[in-house]
Structure 1
Amino acid sequence: MKSIYSKMLILAFMATSLYSYAWGLTGHRIIAEIAENHLSGKARKEIKKIMGRERLAYWANWPDFIKSDTTGAWKQASAWHYVNIDPQTDFKIFGQKLKGQAGPSLYTQVNVLSSQIKDEKTSEKDRKIALIFLIHIMGDLAQPLHVGRAEDLGGNKINVTYFGDKTNLHSVWDGKLVDSQKYSYTEYAALLDIKSDEEVKEIQKGALEDWLYDSHKIANTIYAQTPNDAKLSYDYQYKFNNTMERQLLYGGLRLAKWLNDLF
């Protein structure tokens, strides 16, 4: 990973309206905020050494902001945000296809970035960049269409209207469902993060492959119920808001588990 740390603060605040990002600004910050609430004391201490005093939510969208960079320095990172899998209903086959893919993906990079963070030879700058990416793509993991299908680019080629506005299925799940609730990220995180300790432990069970399959199954349901040129409005919100909120919560709790185990 290249060290281009000098650009980070500039790029982190570049305009983002031209891009369709996973979960959008609000969703990624919700996941990061929930994760922060469930960090162990050790993880919190180690993360502060790497990240400084900013909360996780401050950096949660940086790996999307850098898509505004025109130098090509981060071109290789575009594939880290998703993993494409043909529709599967069997976990064993899903796992085989997941592990059999060539090239970098969300799945491979979670482990690669985690190894870089733990490696004492990694520079401070690159360790920080790796942690920022890890926080982000663990959030991407919970967005079902980031474990979607290559043929439609995770729903980007499925045209729909959302309350009369032309858009695509991926964009609806990236931000429109979340933002239509009109909560700030801190408000939404507080409203969702109400599970008991026992429930949290249950949600955090499993390995990375289990969590990816969880999102993949939801993606299959979304595809089945959202045909091309669908007209989406209140009925779609009614049908999928609980699912969207589940994924935000699960994304935050599972990110916390990964970070706690990492440190």
Structure 2
Amino acid sequence: MKKRILIYLLFPLGILIGSWGAIGHQTVARVAEYHLTPEAKLAIKDLLGNETLPGISSWADQIRSEPEYRSTGPYHFVNLPSGLPYKAFEDQVKSLKKDNLYSALLQYEKVLSDSNSPKEKKTEALKFIVHLVGDAHQPMHVSRAEDKGGNTIQVQFDGKGTNLHSLWDSRMIDRLHLSSVELAEKCNQASPAQIKQWQAASPVQWLYESYQLSNTLYAEVEKENRLSDNYYTRHLPEIQSRIEMGGIRLAGVLNQIFKNYKPSAEKPQENLAVENRQNTNPIVLKNTADVVNYLGKYVTVTDIVYDYKVISNNLTLLNLGGKYPNQILTIAVKGPSGATDWKNKKISVSGVPKLFKGKPEIETDQAGSISFQASK
């Protein structure tokens, strides 16, 4: 997993738009992964190779400064006047002549659904869809042009100045001090009936939900822009709900597009990477601290588990080289790990370290791939 750094660009008309932020977008993608069909998982693996949905979830923000993508800025938002009833909102969204979030989402869904689209175009479309579905569920991305989606509305939060857009992008999420893995566990609570209902809604309905919420947020800060803890506790469930709905709906979109998917003759890059690892001896690190010098390489690390956290039945985080949050390396064990007491155990694990929230992390699919070592 890799922390994605958002690259902001000043577009024509002075519109500066961010997005959920790295953690928010990664969480939307992780929730989606919980609800993908086998066909969708195979199709995504075929397109992304050794990349993951969370890993590419902020790609559409990152490439906005590149010349060939500078025109994609308007793809991230819809601007409309406040106070529209649903029918008027729907009519205006569908009649917009300029590029916007709604038209971009439909465009990339069409590309991804077209069997004649080249693989590289489908991969690009998938990356945009993962990001734009997240944007559609961030209320300040469906808001007013005159304040640039809340970017010019100043507020005080936690005793510090920020703006309304940034507050909903990341400031309130950051206050949770959770990784996207942990937040996804909290945001994956929908019942089967809710999943069915949410996935049946149209993209215009997603946008209108965000629009209604942004209307409320505007009205609140017009009355008081010094935001208390009560503001945070009142709106945090809405943030988690929008992220959860975004993830479940993203899964619904991808499941529908890939419902008849058949693997291509070309072998996915991820499978090739696994084969290469099987035929390559890992680099054995003498010191866990050296892991930062071997990011993206196949390594073996042996160290003591200082502490660990069971996130769910299918995810356990092991901290090596120090206790959280001062660990040097985290091992994310995906899959059942039983009732293992990992604390103070000396373990050896092989994998490819990547940066996550500024810290190296190795993912492994099963606890059985970790071997226990005798402590000296």
Same fold by TM-score, threshold 0.5 exceeded? Answer: yes
Instruction: Say which of 234, 241, 245 aligns to 2:240.
Output: 245
> Is this contact kept in 2: 1:143–1:247, CA < 8 A?
yes
Give the drift of 1:100: 1.4
Query: Which blocks of at least 5 consecutive residues in structure 1 are unaligned?
Result: 1-11
Q: Deviations over 1:12-45 (max 9, x none)?
A: 9885487773110000000000011101111111
Percent same amino acid at aligned positions?
32
Structure whose residues are more often helix by fraction: 1
TM-superposed deviation, 1:229:
7.4
**2:198 matched to 1:203?**
yes
Moved >6 Å (runs of 4+): 17-20
In the alignment, what sits opposite 2:153?
Answer: 158
1:207 Cα deviation from its structure 2 partner: 1.1
> Mapping of 1:145-224 within 5 angstroms?
145-224=140-219
For structure 2, the 5+ residue unaligned runs are 10-16, 259-376
Aligned twin of 2:319: none
Q: 1:131 aligns with which of 126, 135, 140?
A: 126
Distance 1:143 1:18 in 2: 17
The one-character-per-residue Cα deviations of 1:107-159 (angstroms, maximum 9, x if unpaired) are 00111001111223322222111110110011000001101111111101111
Q: 1:187 to 1:168 in 2, by over 3 A?
A: same
State the distance in 1 between where 2:153 and 2:181 align: 31
- String of CA shifts for 1:72-97, please: whole Å, max 9, x gaps: 22111101000111113411111111
Deviation string for 1:203-257 (max 9, x for gaps)? Answer: 2222111111111111111111122871124122022111111111111111111
Q: TM-score, with normalisation over the residues of structure 1?
A: 0.89
Q: Which protein has greater RCO, CA pairs closer than 8 Å, 6+ apart?
A: 1
* Letter of the 1:64 counterpart: D
Shift of the 42–237 alpha-carbon distance from structure 1 to 2, 3 Å rule, reads same
Query: Larger deviation: 199-208 or 247-256?
Result: 199-208
Rounded to whole Å, the distance in 2 between the matches of 1:26 and 1:13 is 8
In the alignment, which of 81, 95, 111 is matched to residue 76 of structure 2? Answer: 81
CA RMSD of superposed structures (Å): 2.0
Tell me the equivalent position of 1:43.
40
* Structure with more of its chain in strand, by fraction: 2
Whether the 8 Å contact between 2:6 and 2:58 is mirrored in structure 1 is no
Measured in 1, the distance between the counterparts of 2:113 and 2:214 equals 32
Distance 2:105 2:8 in 1: 27
* Residues 1:61 and 2:58 aligned together: yes
Whichever of the two has the greater Rg, that structure is 2
How many angstroms apart in 2 are the aligned matches of 1:15 and 1:104? 24
| Alignment check: 8 A CA contact 1:88 1:94 kept | no
Q: Partners in 2 of 1:246 and 1:118 — Cα distance?
A: 28
| Aligned counterpart for 2:85 among listed residues 86, 90, 105 | 90
Alpha-carbon distance in 1 for matches of 2:108, 2:4: 24
Report the CA distance shift for 1:141/1:15 in structure 2 as closer, same or farther (over 3 A).
closer
Q: Is contact 1:145-1:173 (8 Å) kept?
A: yes
Deviations 1:174-226 (A, max 9, x none): 00011111110000101120222122212222211111111111111111112
Q: 2:20 aligns with which of 19, 23, 27?
A: 23
Q: Is the Cα–Cα contact under 8 Å of residues 28 and 57 in structure 1 kept in the other structure?
A: yes
The equivalent position to 2:100 in structure 1, one of 72, 96, 105, is 105
Given that 2:199 and 2:248 are in contact with CA atoms closer than 8 Å, whether structure 1 keeps it comes out as yes
